[in-house]
Amino acid sequence: MTTAILSALADEQRGLIEQLKNPSCQTRAGREFWCGELHGHPVVLALSKIGKVAAATTATTLIEAFGVQRIVFTGVAGGLGQGVQVGDVVVATEFLQHDMDASPLFPRYQIPLYERTRFDCDEPLTALLLEAAQACCAGSASELGKNSMNVSYAVHAGLIASGDRFVSEALESLVLQNDLQTGGFVPLAVEMEGAAVAQVCFDYGIPFAAVRTISDRADDQAHVDFPRFVLEVASVYALAIVNALMRTLPKK
């Protein structure tokens, strides 16, 4: 079974490419796809690019052109939920699009013609990803504790909201959360791609799981130290978590 490891950012992907056995690279749709093996698993590594459409193109190409049978997504996100702090890790159980609004034709947040608002992540794959994240983040002695930004390590699991906006104002974050809460949704984090990939995987009936490191609190400080955080923290997390997952992932 070929597994796609989808990364949001090049810094996160670099360590994985370096570890790839028998690497080969192909270009499709203006994207590089790295094929090879990780821990004995056939894998394809790809960058989602930024935003829902770009991520959907990458996911569709992974499935249609490279025949991947499951997708694991790593990246960063802004923390929304209470207690979801910078440096924490959120494993997604489901995704919604916070910028989907076809009202009054369809209820706000509902994906037209799907009769659903949320797309579930695959339960068994998500359970393994959660275990991998917990194993990596446990204890101050972990490799992850040695980053220079001195961040925390809690692991959360729950709903993530995606949309084509980098949420970078406290007020915007508050409005987003209030609106979602009115609709009955309490997301732990916000990012820009996951719900699109979840929808593509739903369309093709393939398992999907996603993990996001919290890089900011989706407020006025959201952009501060973002590149440094990605390089020094999120990339280290992503590599460690993917390695831990690949060690426990069934081969079939």
The CA-atom distances, in angstroms, between 54 and each of 8, 57, 211 are 10, 5, 18
Stretch that binds ligand ADE, among 12-20, 27-35, 187-195, 237-245 (CB under 6 A): 187-195
Q: Does 111 bind ligand ADE (CB under 6 A)?
A: no
DSSP 79-113: E-STT--TT-EEEEEEEEETT---TTTS-TT-BTT
Q: Does 76 bind ligand ADE (CB under 6 A)?
A: yes
Q: Does 5 bind ligand ADE (CB under 6 A)?
A: no
Q: Does 54 bind ligand ADE (CB under 6 A)?
A: no
Residue 177, both tokens: 């959360």
Percent helix, strand, coil in the chain, to 5, is 35, 30, 35
Question: Across the strands, what pairs with 3?
Answer: 43, 70
Question: Across the strands, what pairs with 197?
Answer: none
Stretch that binds ligand ADE, among 25-33, 51-59, 214-222, 233-241 (CB under 6 A): 214-222
Stretch that binds ligand ADE, among 26-34, 64-72, 188-196, 232-240 (CB under 6 A): 188-196
Residue whose CB is less far from ligand ADE, 36 or 81 = 81
The residue at minimum Cβ distance from ligand ADE is 78
Binding residues vs ligand ADE (CB under 6 A): 76-78, 166-168, 190-192, 215-216, 218, 222
